[in-house]
Structure 1
Amino acid sequence: MKAPLDLDQLQTFISIADTGSFTRAAEEVHRTQSAVSMQMRRLEERIGKPLFEKDGRSNKLTEEGDRLLSYARRMLYLNRETLAAFDDNRLEGTIRIGTPDDYADRFLPEIMARFARSNPRVELTVTCEPTPSLAEHIKRGNLDLALVTHNDARGQSEVVRREPLLWVTSTNHATHEQDVLPMAFGRPNCIWRRAACDVLDEMGRDYRILFSSFSATVIAAAVLSGLAISVLPECALRPGMRVLGEADGFGQLPDCRIGLMRGQTSRPEIVEALARHIAESLDNITVPITEETGSFDFASLAFTKMKRTKPSQVMPGW
């Protein structure tokens, strides 16, 4: 039977993958560069595959290294969760978190379940409102942490996930083929709405806004019923939706970034613990899109490594 993997080696491996540098990783894990290099040689021997390749002056993950990264993150997270479960000095108290309802629907069940298991004495109070409202709550001290759509103009959020923004219609209707497109959007201050209108104008497509709401549930209902088409991030896709692309005559939309905003709090240790937990939990759940139909398989959601590449064009949502 093969010996188990060394968690210290995996932690160093993750640091190198995140920083792209053995030198910076050595600083993060408080080891010498030679010690880090030795750790990685031993890990490669243990895996039996090369994990890094030179890319200019940086170290790039090989295909095998990329595969190992998602496993390594989960193993380190499970290790911390296990230790926390037996810690007599574990965190306790109340933390107020806010998020838009589309993120709450997809992300919160996983986040809350895992956090509650390792921190059973922490009470979570959840507020579901649009990003602009959550930013105001953070400013006024009404929330400790908010999972929001990142906005460069608004700032102050740490990006923890990046997703494509997608045109969506119903799989059972041909709403997108109408001469005048019926649209369902967020409120007028929704930046996804403005981005979509800009693309539609560039396409020269006639459209009318039939539904306007800050509720993702309302927007999804309009799409699924065939009454309108809309734009949604990948995480908000639902069974019965079809993704529209260039083959359908729809131009590309800018990406969206999901970020964390921190408020002023008397319990920063709880906020930091939950923020770290959220960043690790959002390890990039992807929704496979089929080439034939443009629909997606809701049941085959998969965890992969979090995308850390900087998008060339980013647009926040409601």
Structure 2
Amino acid sequence: MISEQIGLDLLRTYVAVCRLGSLSRAAAQTGRTQSALSMQMRRLETLLERHLFQRTGRGVVPTAEGEIFLGYATRMLALGDEAWARLRDAEVSGSVRIGLAEEIANSALPVALGRLHRAFPDIHLDVVVEHSTALGKLWEQNDMDIMLAPTSSVSTDAVVTWNVELQWASSADYVPDETKPLDLVVFAAPCLWRRRAIEALAAMGREHRVTFTSQSVMGLQAAIENGLGVGLLPPESVRESSMRTMQPSDGVPAPLTVQYGLYAHDRRRRVVDATIDVLLEATSPCGSRN
């Protein structure tokens, strides 16, 4: 019989570790310290009396028994979402327009939107993916119900804010030539990450040249993997099999931090509140909540 001490939060953390393949990445996404998350996973293994993970040179992967438990954990979480939706907001329906900053649209948010659809199948989602400047204008025109964007894009207060760490990433075998301008892979302008990257390089006196621009994180990943240059990526987007995280000793600035917020209007429909609750729980942003 499964221990009553294994709650949904513990299961969600376990699934996050398996999905990201890294305790440090899962800790960053869930807002916990790596040591606290490691203790949680050891506690889960003790409760189950099974080894769930094995370490590799690039992180952790589930053992054979861990993979079996992962399947059950995923199903239990899905059932929990369904039960919560039916009991709490069985009649929630309607259309919700969500604005997503393009640089974070491919991270944890698709998982959140998937959970939202499973929990509330009668909600229609109209998702707009744009750069932060365009989102800010749409928000000021009252064209969206919810927006997830950098806090610098609007002057209003966010429902919740959290920080995203951006690391300098390159292909596994990329070696920058310090006698030449740094090859830079960035989002197309206007973009906050692009501006912050250029400002950081200028502050340390490092020349650069933009060798590749893209509208998506996947485009940046492909360019970095194939040696077109270095770029800023959140930790979960750095593919350990084909990329490496660069350090200041490699001739790049220290990692950067960008603050994001979830925005919603003060007067909102029930369907919008239900959407916000699922987005906050699924994306696990850490920070101040109004």
1:256 corresponds to which of 240, 251, 258? 258
State which drifts further: 139-148 or 193-202.
193-202
Q: Identify the residue that residue 242 of structure 1 maps to in structure 2.
A: 244
Task: Sort the Cα spacing of 1:309 and 1:242 in 2 relative to 1 into closer, same or farther, 3 A.
Answer: farther
Q: Identify the residue that residue 82 of structure 1 maps to in structure 2.
A: 83
The one-letter code matched in structure 2 to 1:233 is P
In the alignment, the residues of structure 2 paired with residue 274 and residue 213 of structure 1 have an alpha-carbon distance, to the nearest angstrom, of 29
Give the superposition deviation at 1:117: 1.6
Q: Identify the residue that residue 232 of structure 2 maps to in structure 1.
A: 231
Task: Sort the Cα spacing of 1:85 and 1:184 in 2 relative to 1 into closer, same or farther, 3 A.
Answer: same
Percent of aligned pairs sharing the same letter: 26
In the alignment, the residues of structure 1 paired with residue 160 and residue 88 of structure 2 have an alpha-carbon distance, to the nearest angstrom, of 30
Greater length-normalized contact order (CA 8 Å, ≥ 6 residues apart): 2
1:147-186 equivalences under 5 Å are 147-151=148-152, 154-175=155-176, 179-186=180-187
Q: Identify the residue that residue 275 of structure 1 maps to in structure 2.
A: 276
Q: Deviations over 1:72-127 (max 9, x none)?
A: xx999975641323568420111111213342222233112211121111111211
Structure 2, unmatched stretches of 5+, are: 10-34, 45-73
On the 8 A contact 1:141/1:264 being kept in 2, the answer is no
Q: Identify the residue that residue 220 of structure 1 maps to in structure 2.
A: 221
Q: What TM-score, normalized by structure 1, do the two folds share?
A: 0.59
Q: Identify the residue that residue 211 of structure 1 maps to in structure 2.
A: 212
Q: Identify the residue that residue 30 of structure 2 maps to in structure 1.
A: none
The one-letter code matched in structure 1 to 2:270 is E
In the alignment, the residues of structure 1 paired with residue 162 and residue 78 of structure 2 have an alpha-carbon distance, to the nearest angstrom, of 17
Task: Sort the Cα spacing of 1:172 and 1:178 in 2 relative to 1 into closer, same or farther, 3 A.
Answer: farther
Q: Identify the residue that residue 114 of structure 2 maps to in structure 1.
A: 113
The one-letter code matched in structure 1 to 2:194 is R
The one-letter code matched in structure 1 to 2:93 is E
Q: Deviations over 1:136-166 (max 9, x none)?
A: 2222232211221222864433344322111
Give the superposition deviation at 1:259: 1.5
Q: Identify the residue that residue 43 of structure 1 maps to in structure 2.
A: none
Q: Deviations over 1:185-226 (max 9, x none)?
A: 234443322322232223222212233444434333332221
Task: Sort the Cα spacing of 1:181 and 1:84 in 2 relative to 1 into closer, same or farther, 3 A.
Answer: same
Larger Rg: 1
On the 8 A contact 2:97/2:146 being kept in 1, the answer is yes
Structure 1, unmatched stretches of 5+, are: 11-61, 284-305, 311-318
In the alignment, the residues of structure 2 paired with residue 282 and residue 217 of structure 1 have an alpha-carbon distance, to the nearest angstrom, of 19
In the alignment, the residues of structure 2 paired with residue 165 and residue 155 of structure 1 have an alpha-carbon distance, to the nearest angstrom, of 24
1:12-51 equivalences under 5 Å are none
On the 8 A contact 1:167/1:244 being kept in 2, the answer is yes
Task: Sort the Cα spacing of 1:258 and 1:153 in 2 relative to 1 into closer, same or farther, 3 A.
Answer: closer
Alignment partner of 1:157: what SS? Answer: coil
The one-letter code matched in structure 2 to 1:192 is W
Q: Deviations over 1:32-78 (max 9, x none)?
A: xxxxxxxxxxxxxxxxxxxxxxxxxxxxxx959x849xx9xx99997
Give the superposition deviation at 1:167: 0.9
Give the superposition deviation at 1:307: 4.0
